[in-house]
Structure 1
Amino acid sequence: MTTVRRSAAVLAASAVLGMAIASAAAPVAIAAPTPTPSTVLPSGLYGTGDPTYDGVWRQSLALLAQDTVGVKPAAKAVDWLTGQQCDSGAFPSYRADATKPCDAKLPLDSNASAAAVQALAALGGQDATVKKTAGWLKSVQNADGGWGYNPGGASDANSTSIVIGALAAAGEKPDALKSKGGKTPYDALLTFAQPCGGKDGGAFLFQPKQPGIVADSTAAAVLGAHGKGFVVTAGAKDAKGTVCEKSTTVEGAAHNGAAYLATALAKTGHLNTPPMPGATDPAEKPDFGNTADAVVALTAQGLGDQAKKPLAWLQQNSAAWAKESGPAAYAQLILAAHAAGADPKSFGGTDLVAALNATGPAPEKSAASEKPEKSETSEKSDSGSDVGVWWIVGAFFVASIGAGILFSGRRKNQQH
Structure 2
Amino acid sequence: MTTLRRCAAALVASAVLGLTAAPAALAAPSPAPSSELPGGLYGKSDPTYDGVWRQSLALLAQDTAGVKPADEAVTFLTGQQCANGGFPSYRADTAKGCDAAVPLDTNASGAAVQALAALGGQDAAVKKTVDWLKSVQNEDGGWGYNPGGASDANSTSLVIGALAAAGERPADAKSPAGKTPYDALLTFAKPCGGEDGGAFVYQVESPGMVADSTAAAVLASHGKGLAATGGDAGDVKGTDCEKATTLDGAAHNGAAYLANGLAKTGHFDTPPMPGADDSSPKPDFGNTADAVVALSVQGRAEQAEKPLEWLRKNSAAWAKENGPAAYAQLIFAARAAGADPKDFGGTDLVAALSATGPAPQAAGAKSPAAKGDEQAGKDDTKADDDSSSFTNWWIVGVLFVAAVGAGFLLSGRRKNQS
Task: Answer yes or no: is the 8 Å Cα contact 1:117–1:134 preserved in 2.
Answer: yes
- SS of aligned partner of 1:286: strand
Distance 1:265 1:232 in 2: 20
TM-score (norm 2): 0.84
Distance 1:280 1:383 in 2: 17
**Offset at residue 243 of structure 1 (A):** 2.0
**Offset at residue 298 of structure 1 (A):** 0.1
- CA deviations on 1:246-266 (whole Å, 9 max, x unpaired) are 111111111110000000000
Counterparts in 2 of 1:222-241, with a 5 A limit? Answer: 222-235=218-231, 236-241=233-238
**Offset at residue 241 of structure 1 (A):** 2.3
**Offset at residue 9 of structure 1 (A):** 3.7
Task: Answer yes or no: is the 8 Å Cα contact 2:62–2:350 preserved in 1.
Answer: yes
The range that moved more, 236-245 or 206-215, is 236-245
Distance 2:116 2:150 in 1: 27
The match for 2:2 is 3
Distance 2:16 2:230 in 1: 42
The match for 1:104 is 100
**Offset at residue 4 of structure 1 (A):** 4.0
Runs (5+) with no aligned partner, structure 1: 369-381, 385-391, 407-416
**Is residue 2:270 matched to residue 1:273?**
yes
Cα distance change on mapping 1:132 and 1:268 into 2, 3 Å: same
**Which one has a bigger Cα radius of gyration?**
2
- SS of aligned partner of 1:90: coil
Cα distance change on mapping 1:233 and 1:75 into 2, 3 Å: same
Counterparts in 2 of 1:143-182, with a 5 A limit? Answer: 143-182=139-178
The match for 1:120 is 116
Q: Using the aligned pairs only, state the percent identity.
A: 72
Distance 1:221 1:260 in 2: 12
Q: Which amino acid aligns with 2:52?
A: V
Counterparts in 2 of 1:10-409, with a 5 A limit? Answer: 26-32=16-22, 34=25, 38=33, 39-235=35-231, 236-366=233-363, 403-405=406-408
Cα distance change on mapping 1:42 and 1:326 into 2, 3 Å: same
- SS of aligned partner of 2:291: helix
Q: Which amino acid aligns with 1:330?
A: Y
Q: Which amino acid aligns with 2:406?
A: A
Distance 2:174 2:81 in 1: 25
Runs (5+) with no aligned partner, structure 2: 366-387, 391-396, 410-418
Task: Answer yes or no: is the 8 Å Cα contact 1:27–1:402 preserved in 2.
Answer: no
- CA deviations on 1:207-244 (whole Å, 9 max, x unpaired) are 11111000000000001111100111111211212221
Distance 2:389 2:338 in 1: 27
- CA deviations on 1:355-396 (whole Å, 9 max, x unpaired) are 00000000012479xxxxxxxxxxxxx599xxxxxxx99x99
**Offset at residue 172 of structure 1 (A):** 1.2
Distance 1:8 1:284 in 2: 20
Q: Identify which of structures 1 and 2 has the higher relative contact order when contacts are C-alpha pairs closer than 8 Å and 6+ apart.
A: 1
Distance 1:396 1:280 in 2: 16
Task: Answer yes or no: is the 8 Å Cα contact 2:205–2:408 preserved in 1.
Answer: no
Q: Which amino acid aligns with 2:4?
A: R
Cα distance change on mapping 1:102 and 1:402 into 2, 3 Å: farther
**Offset at residue 404 of structure 1 (A):** 3.6
Cα distance change on mapping 1:346 and 1:277 into 2, 3 Å: same
TM-score (norm 1): 0.85
Aligned pairs, number: 374
Task: Answer yes or no: is the 8 Å Cα contact 1:157–1:192 preserved in 2.
Answer: yes
Distance 2:121 2:403 in 1: 37
Distance 2:90 2:301 in 1: 36
Q: Please give the root-mean-square deviation of Cα atoms over the aligned residues, in Å.
A: 2.6
Distance 1:122 1:7 in 2: 23
**Offset at residue 31 of structure 1 (A):** 2.5
Distance 1:60 1:383 in 2: 20
Task: Answer yes or no: is the 8 Å Cα contact 1:45–1:360 preserved in 2.
Answer: yes
